[in-house]
Structure 1
Amino acid sequence: MSKQSLPVVDLQAVACCSPIAVRPMDAEQAAVVAPMFKALGDPIRLRLMSMIASVPEICVCDLTPAFDVSGPTISHHLKVLRETGLVDAERRGTWVWYRVRPEVFRQLGALLDVPAATSADA
Structure 2
Amino acid sequence: MEGIVHVFQAFADPTRLRLLNLLRHEKELCVCDLSAALSEEQPKVSRHLAILRQANLVSVRNEGRWKFYELARKTPKLQRRLLRSLDAVNPLETEDTFGNDQQRMAGLVLRLRCR
The TM-score bracket by the shorter chain reads: 0.5 to 0.7
Q: Which position in structure 2 is the counterpart of 1:47?
A: 18
Q: Which position in structure 2 is the counterpart of 1:59?
A: 30
2:42 aligned with 1:71, yes or no? Answer: yes
Letter in 1 for 2:62: R
Displacement of 1:67 after TM fit?
A: 2.2
User: Where do 5+ consecutive residues of structure 2 fail to align?
Assistant: 86-115
Displacement of 1:34 after TM fit?
A: 2.3
User: Where do 5+ consecutive residues of structure 1 fail to align?
Assistant: 1-27, 114-122
Aligned residues: 82
> Which has the higher Rg, Structure 1 or Structure 2?
1
Give the fraction of aligned pairs with identical amino acids, expressed as a percent.
33
2:75 aligned with 1:95, yes or no? Answer: no
Taking structure 1 as the reference length, what is the TM-score of the superposition?
A: 0.58
- Structure showing the higher helix proportion among its residues: 2
Taking structure 2 as the reference length, what is the TM-score of the superposition?
A: 0.61
Q: Distance in 1 between matches of 2:21 and 2:66?
A: 20
Q: Which position in structure 2 is the counterpart of 1:82?
A: 53
Q: Distance in 1 between matches of 2:9 and 2:59?
A: 18
Q: How big is each residue's C-alpha offset from its partner over 1:29-59, in whole Å with a ceiling of 9 and x where there is no partner?
A: xx43121121111000000011112222112
Q: CA RMSD in A?
A: 2.3
Q: Which position in structure 2 is the counterpart of 1:38?
A: 9
